[in-house]
Structure 1
Amino acid sequence: MFTVRFLPGLQSVAVAPGTTILEAARRAGVMLESPCNGVGTCGKCTVRLDVESLWQVNIRGARPAPHGAAGPVEILSCQAEVHGDVTVEIPTGEQHDTLQVLSHGEAGAIELAPCIRKVYLEEKQATSVFAGERLLATEAGDTRPHHAGMVVDIGTTTLVAALVDLTSGREIATAAALNPQSRQAQDVLSRIHFASEETGLQTMHADLVEEINRLTADLSRQSGLDSRHIYEIVYSGNTCMLHLATGTSPASLGRYPYTPLLRGSQHVTAAGQGLHIADSGLIYLPPVISGYVGADLTSGIVATGLHRREGTTLLVDIGTNGEMILARNGELRATSTAAGPAFEGMNISCGMRASRGAVEYFAVDGDGSLTIRTIGNARATGLCGSGLLDIVGELVAHGVIGGNGRFLAPDRAPHLPVSLLERLVPREGKTAFQVTEDVFLSQKDIRQVQLAKGAIRAGIEFLLQNSGIAAVQVDRVLIAGSFGYHLQEQSLLNLGLLPREFAGRVDFVGNTSKTGGQALLLNQNLRNEMTALVSAVEVIELANFPDFDRVFVKCLGF
C-alpha cells in the first residue's frame, strides 16, 4: 500500500498500487471534479505534483519524464496511477468555500398548516409529535418551542438547505454546497449510467447523505437548534436526484419509456436514509411530473402560483437539465431537454463554478470598451455560466460572432472597434477572444453554448407548437433556478435562447425549487393539491417527435 497525501487540506489515504489519484481523492473525501468520470477528456481534474512525487506515478501506463521540471507539474489525476508515496496539491480553484449559490426565490403567502405538529400533554409532562394524525414520538417535557423542519433543494450541481421554524414559518438559517455527486458524473445522463450499477448507486447515495448531514450540522450551529428537533425534510429536486437521494436505482430513467420508480407524494424515514435529525424524522418527496420533469418543477408551480395565473405563462428552469412548463389559464404542459453542463461553466476552456474570481457579468459599452465584473471583485480566473452567456451574447450582438457561431476573421472585420478587434487572437491555431489576461473564449466554447441553448430553445419551440400558441401570445416568461437568476434578459435574446417576442416579458424568479419546497413543508394541504395537479399535467416527450433533430439544428444558430 502507498500513501497519497493531499494539500492544502492535509488529508491522506492508503491505496493499492495502480490506483489513480482521482480514485484516491474520492476515498479521502477530497473534492475533485471529473465530469467525464475519469475518461480523461474533460480536463477538469488537474492536480499538481512535485518532481519527487512525479517519479512515483504512471501516466496512462507510462512513466512520465520530469527531467528539467523546476517546480510542480500539472497532470490529470484520472490518468495518474500511484506506484509510490505521493503528495498532491489541489489547485485553489477547486476549493468551493466561496461558492455563490442563490438561496432565495419568489414565494407567495402561505397559510401555516405543517404536516408535523406538537401537542403538549400537561398531565403527563410530555409532548406528542404527530405527522398528520400519526404519532411519531413522545418527548419528555414541553418541547413545543423546538419545532423545526428543513428543505433541501437537490440540484444537479448545487445543494441549498434551509432550516424553518414550523411554529412561525420563519426561515432560521440557510447553507449551500456543491452536489458531491459531481465528482463522479456531471450531468443527469452520466449519473443515471453511473448509478445503474449497485456500487455506483451506493457511492452516490452515501456521498449525498454525508453532504446533507454536513449541511444539517451547519444549520444547527448557525441557529443553536439541536438537530434532534428537526422532524421533517422536504427533498426538492429533479426526478433523477430524488432517486439518487433515496438510494433508488435510476436505471429505468435511462431507457424508453423513461418511467421513474419513484412518483413522489410520499414519506420515507430519515433514519433509514442515514440522516442525522430526529430519530422519528421523515423525508417528504413532492410529486414527480415525469422521468425528466421532476419535483423541483412541482415546487416551482407552488412558488409561482403558475396554475392559478390567468393568460399564458412559461416557466423555464435553466440548468444542466432544462425543464419547462407552459400554463394557459391553469392548463399545464411540460417538457425537458438535456442542456448539458456548459451553463455551469463545465466543458468550457476557462470554465469554472460560480465562485471567487469567476467572470459573472460582461458588457460591451457604446464606445467599444468592456465592463467586466467578477465574483468577489477578485482577479478574473475563469468563466461561470452567467458570464459565459453574457460574453457570447454581447459578441453576437456586436458582430464579433456570426449567426453560424464562428468568430469573424480579424482581417474581415474592419468595422469592429479596435478594443474588440485586438482581443481576437490566435490560440492553438484557431481564433479566440481574450476576455482578460488569463481568461479566453474559444471556438469550441461557443459550440458548447450553441448546443446547450439550442436544446432549451428547441424545447420551448415544441412546447409552444404542441399547445398551439405563438411566441407573441405568451404573456410572461419566468426564468427559475440559481443559475437563471444571474442572467440578463438581453443576453438570452441575443443568443436566441429565448424568442425575440419575449422581450420585456421576462421575470427572473430565483430558486423556486427551494421556496416551493418550503411552502410544501409549511402547508400539508398543498401536497394533496399538487398531487392532483401533477397527475393532470400533459408531458410532451420530445423523443417522440421525428423532426426534433431538424428543429434542434435550426435552433443552434444565433
Structure 2
Amino acid sequence: MFTSWVDGRWRTAWSSSREISVSVPVAVTFMPSGVTAWVSEGETILAAARNAGVPIAASCAGRGTCGECGVRLVSGVLQEADAVEKRGLTRAPDGVRLACQARVSGHVTVQPLISLGVQAEQFDPVAGAELVAAIDLGTTMVGAVVIDRKSGREIGRSTVANQQSVWGADVLSRLSASVSGEDTALRESAERSIVAALEAAAPELLLDISRLVIAGNTAMEALLAGADVSSLATYPFVIPRSRDALSGDSSLWPRLRDGVRIEVVPPMASFVGGDVLAGLVAMGIAPGGHPVMLVDVGTNAEVVLATKKELFVASAAAGPAFEGGGVSSGGPAIEGAVSSVRIHEDGGVHLETIGDAGPKWFSGAGLVSAVAALRRVGHLDSSGLLDEKGPLRDRFTQDGEGVLGVDLGDDTCQLRVTQLDVRTIQLAKAAVRAAVQLVLSRAGVRARKLSVLYIAGAFGGALEVGDLVELGVVPEQSGDVVEFVGNTSLRGAAVLALDDTLWSEARSLAASALHVDLAVDPEFNTLLIEGVELEPFHAR
C-alpha cells in the first residue's frame, strides 16, 4: 500500500488496484492580508472567510443575489460557476467570482474587491496613563477610542469592519443565522472585531485598559453576549435576557487586564439600542426644553424626540444602503469612498472622496448625493425612474439582465448607479421619513417647532442638508435646523467610560422612554409607500 498527493486529494491505492478518494482540507489565502483558512474541497470562499475572520461584504447573506462578495482569483482553481452564481455575476464587475457561491477545488489565493480595511490614528501615551476605552459595535463597522482618564488625552482611535458581515449586512440576517445555530460563531466574530479595533487604536496597550464600555444596537449587543435572540427575531420583538452582560467564557476577558470592567450600554426598546442611549448622553438630550430630535441613520434607523415632558423613541429597518451595502458600487465610508457627487450640465462629473484618495466605491452618503445629483439634472423623476435623456446619456447602459444603469466613474473605477440601486435608496429613505413623521405625530409636535434635528452616524458626515430635503428624507420645515453630529454612539460610550455619574442618568432615560412601535402602527405602511417619492415633503 502506498500514499501520494494528487490534485489536492490523498488517494490510497490497494494492491487489488482498488482506489478510495478522501477529501482533505485545502488552503484559501486572502490578499492583501495573507490570512489563510483551511477548508474542505467544495467549500465556498465565503465559508473560508468566516473561518479566517476575514470580513467580506455579503448583504444577501450568501444567497448569490447582491454581487457584493466578488473576489478576484489570484492563483489556484475554483469550480465552474453554477447557474445561481452566473445570475449574481450579472451585477458584479467583470472577471470576478462570487465568494458565497464559488467553491474551491484546491489551494487558492483570492482578493476581495471591496476591502473592508482598518482606519486608525495613534498618539503617544503619557507616563502613568490610566486608560479607558469605548467601542461602537456597529452592524457594518466597529469603532474604538482609547483615552487617558487622568488627562483626558485621546491615545488612539480606529474603525474596522464588523467580521459578522459574512452572515449578511442587516441585523435580521444575523439574528436568523444565530437562531439557526451560528450563535457561537457570531459571538466570536464580534469579539474578534472588538479586539481588532482596540489593537488598531492602541497597539500593545490592551493590558493597560482598566475599563471598556461597549455601545451597539440591540441585536449586536445580544449577539456579543451570546444571548438567545429568538425573541428578537420574530414579532413582538422582545429584548433578549442577558443581552448587556458578557459571558464568562468571552474571549475579551483574557485579552485585557485582570480586573478590567467591561460594561455594555443597555438598550431602550426592542430595536432602539444602547448606541442610541449613548448618543443621547453624548448630546445631552433629555426631556425638559424645546423639542429636539435625533435620527441615527444606519441599517436600522432610530428616531428619538425629546419634548418638554417626554422622550419618544422608534426604529425602522432602513437596510444597508445608507452604509454603502446592498448596491452595485457601494462600500464602507473609509478612505477612497465617494462622499459627494456633482453633475454638470455639460456632462462632467465631479467626485469627492474620503481622504481625497482615488475613488473606490460609493459610501452611503455618496450614493445619496449621486441620486440627488441625477435628480437635479433630469435623469431621475420623482417616482425614481431613471431616464437616459440628459447630459449623461452616453454613460447609460443595460446589464445582462436588462437593468438600466449609469456609470459615474472614470477610467480608473466603475461607479455604477442602477435602477435597482435607486429603488433601494427609495425604500431606505422612506423608512426614515415614515419613522420621523410618526414620532412627531404621536408626540403632537410639528416639524417646524423642532429646535434642532441631529443626524447621527457615519452616513451624515459628508452630506448636504439640501440633498436630504430635496429627496424627502427630512421634513422641508426642518431643513434650517439640521445638524450632522457623526458617531454619537462612540462619543457617548467614551463619556460613560470617563464619568461614572452619567450612568444613572442614562438608565433613567432608558426607563422613561416611550416606544412608538412602528410594526403595529396602522399608518406606517401608508407613510412608507408615500415616502418613496423623491421630492420634498411637509410633515403633518
Shorter-chain TM range is 0.7 to 0.9
Structure 1 residue identity aligned to 2:160: A
- Whether the 8 Å CA contact 2:59–2:168 is kept in 1: the answer is yes
Q: Secondary structure at the match of 2:286?
A: helix
> Is 2:23 aligned against 1:3?
no
Q: Render the CA deviation track for 1:37-91: whole Å, top value 9, x for unaligned.
A: 221111122223369614xx25449999xxxxxxx95221222233x31323214
Structure 1 distance, partners of 2:335, 2:148, is 32
Residue 331 of structure 2 is matched in structure 1 by 352
Structure 2 distance, partners of 1:258, 1:2, is 41
- Whether the 8 Å CA contact 1:269–1:282 is kept in 2: the answer is no
* Residues 213 and 7 (structure 1), Cα distance of their counterparts in 2 relative to 1, 3 Å cut: closer
Structure 2 residue identity aligned to 1:509: V
Residue 511 of structure 1 deviates from its aligned partner by 1.1
* Residues 267 and 10 (structure 1), Cα distance of their counterparts in 2 relative to 1, 3 Å cut: closer
Residue 99 of structure 1 deviates from its aligned partner by 5.2
Structure 1 residue identity aligned to 2:325: M
Q: Structure 1 residue aligned with 2:103, among 67, 81, 104?
A: 81
> Is 2:37 aligned against 1:13?
yes
Q: Secondary structure at the match of 1:205?
A: helix
- Whether the 8 Å CA contact 2:120–2:158 is kept in 1: the answer is no
Structure 2 distance, partners of 1:268, 1:62, is 39
* Residues 369 and 201 (structure 1), Cα distance of their counterparts in 2 relative to 1, 3 Å cut: same
Structure 2 residue identity aligned to 1:461: Q
Equivalences for 1:497-512 in 2 at 5 Å? 497-512=473-488
Equivalences for 1:362-377 in 2 at 5 Å? 362-364=341-343, 369-377=348-356
Of 378-387 and 8-17, the range deviating more from structure 2: 8-17
Q: Secondary structure at the match of 2:185?
A: helix
Q: Render the CA deviation track for 1:352-399: whole Å, top value 9, x for unaligned.
A: 222343221112457774431123434433212111000111222333
Structure 1 distance, partners of 2:195, 2:408, is 40
> In percent, how many aligned pairs have the same letter?
31
Q: Render the CA deviation track for 1:239-289: whole Å, top value 9, x for unaligned.
A: 11111122212221112221112487x765777453311222121122320
Residue 288 of structure 1 is matched in structure 2 by 267
Residue 68 of structure 2 is matched in structure 1 by 44
Residue 122 of structure 1 is matched in structure 2 by none
Residue 215 of structure 1 is matched in structure 2 by 197
Structure 2 distance, partners of 1:95, 1:48, is 12
Residue 121 of structure 1 is matched in structure 2 by none
Structure 2 distance, partners of 1:277, 1:290, is 30
Structure 2 residue identity aligned to 1:518: A
* Residues 441 and 526 (structure 1), Cα distance of their counterparts in 2 relative to 1, 3 Å cut: same
Q: Structure 1 residue aligned with 2:132, among 131, 138, 149?
A: 149
Which runs of 5 or more residues in structure 1 are unaligned? 65-71, 104-143, 411-415
* Residues 376 and 230 (structure 1), Cα distance of their counterparts in 2 relative to 1, 3 Å cut: closer
- Whether the 8 Å CA contact 2:118–2:160 is kept in 1: the answer is no
* Residues 281 and 500 (structure 1), Cα distance of their counterparts in 2 relative to 1, 3 Å cut: same
- Whether the 8 Å CA contact 2:187–2:224 is kept in 1: the answer is yes
Structure 2 distance, partners of 1:257, 1:307, is 27
Structure 2 distance, partners of 1:509, 1:63, is 41
> Is 2:43 aligned against 1:22?
no
Q: Secondary structure at the match of 2:314?
A: strand
Structure 1 distance, partners of 2:214, 2:336, is 31
Instruction: Count how many residue pairs are aligned between Structure 1 and Structure 2.
Output: 494
Structure 2 residue identity aligned to 1:85: G
Residue 97 of structure 1 is matched in structure 2 by 117
* Residues 269 and 263 (structure 1), Cα distance of their counterparts in 2 relative to 1, 3 Å cut: closer
Q: Structure 2 residue aligned with 1:486, among 462, 469, 493?
A: 462
Which runs of 5 or more residues in structure 2 are unaligned? 1-23, 87-93, 535-540
- Whether the 8 Å CA contact 1:157–1:179 is kept in 2: the answer is yes
Structure 1 distance, partners of 2:280, 2:456, is 11
Q: Structure 1 residue aligned with 2:451, among 462, 467, 475?
A: 475
- Whether the 8 Å CA contact 2:64–2:85 is kept in 1: the answer is no
Structure 2 distance, partners of 1:473, 1:504, is 11
- Whether the 8 Å CA contact 2:271–2:315 is kept in 1: the answer is yes
- Given the two structures, how large is their TM-score scaled by the length of structure 1? 0.82
Equivalences for 1:396-411 in 2 at 5 Å? 396-410=375-389
Residue 434 of structure 1 is matched in structure 2 by 407
Equivalences for 1:382-393 in 2 at 5 Å? 382-393=361-372
Residue 432 of structure 1 deviates from its aligned partner by 2.4
Structure 2 distance, partners of 1:16, 1:269, is 31
Q: Render the CA deviation track for 1:443-466: whole Å, top value 9, x for unaligned.
A: 111000001000110100111111
* Residues 426 and 100 (structure 1), Cα distance of their counterparts in 2 relative to 1, 3 Å cut: farther
Equivalences for 1:153-232 in 2 at 5 Å? 153-197=136-180, 199-221=181-203, 225=205, 227-232=206-211
- Whether the 8 Å CA contact 1:269–1:283 is kept in 2: the answer is no
Q: Secondary structure at the match of 1:306?
A: coil
Q: What do you get for the CA RMSD once the two structures are aligned?
A: 2.7
- Whether the 8 Å CA contact 1:393–1:491 is kept in 2: the answer is yes
Structure 2 residue identity aligned to 1:41: T
Structure 1 distance, partners of 2:282, 2:299, is 21
Residue 519 of structure 2 is matched in structure 1 by 543
Structure 2 residue identity aligned to 1:274: L
Q: Structure 1 residue aligned with 2:252, among 264, 270, 274?
A: 274
Q: Secondary structure at the match of 2:41?
A: coil
Residue 133 of structure 1 is matched in structure 2 by none
Structure 1 distance, partners of 2:53, 2:291, is 47
- Whether the 8 Å CA contact 1:397–1:494 is kept in 2: the answer is no
Residue 237 of structure 2 is matched in structure 1 by 258
Structure 1 distance, partners of 2:352, 2:85, is 43
Structure 1 residue identity aligned to 2:322: F
Q: Secondary structure at the match of 2:103?
A: strand
Structure 1 residue identity aligned to 2:136: D
Structure 2 distance, partners of 1:524, 1:421, is 59
Structure 1 distance, partners of 2:398, 2:370, is 18
Q: Secondary structure at the match of 1:12?
A: strand
Structure 2 residue identity aligned to 1:90: Q
Q: Secondary structure at the match of 1:196?
A: helix
Q: Render the CA deviation track for 1:493-533: whole Å, top value 9, x for unaligned.
A: 11101111112111111111011111111221211122122
Q: Secondary structure at the match of 1:80?
A: coil
Residue 211 of structure 1 deviates from its aligned partner by 2.3
Structure 1 distance, partners of 2:45, 2:473, is 39
Q: Render the CA deviation track for 1:420-452: whole Å, top value 9, x for unaligned.
A: 444445555454223124222111110000010
Equivalences for 1:312-323 in 2 at 5 Å? 312-323=291-302
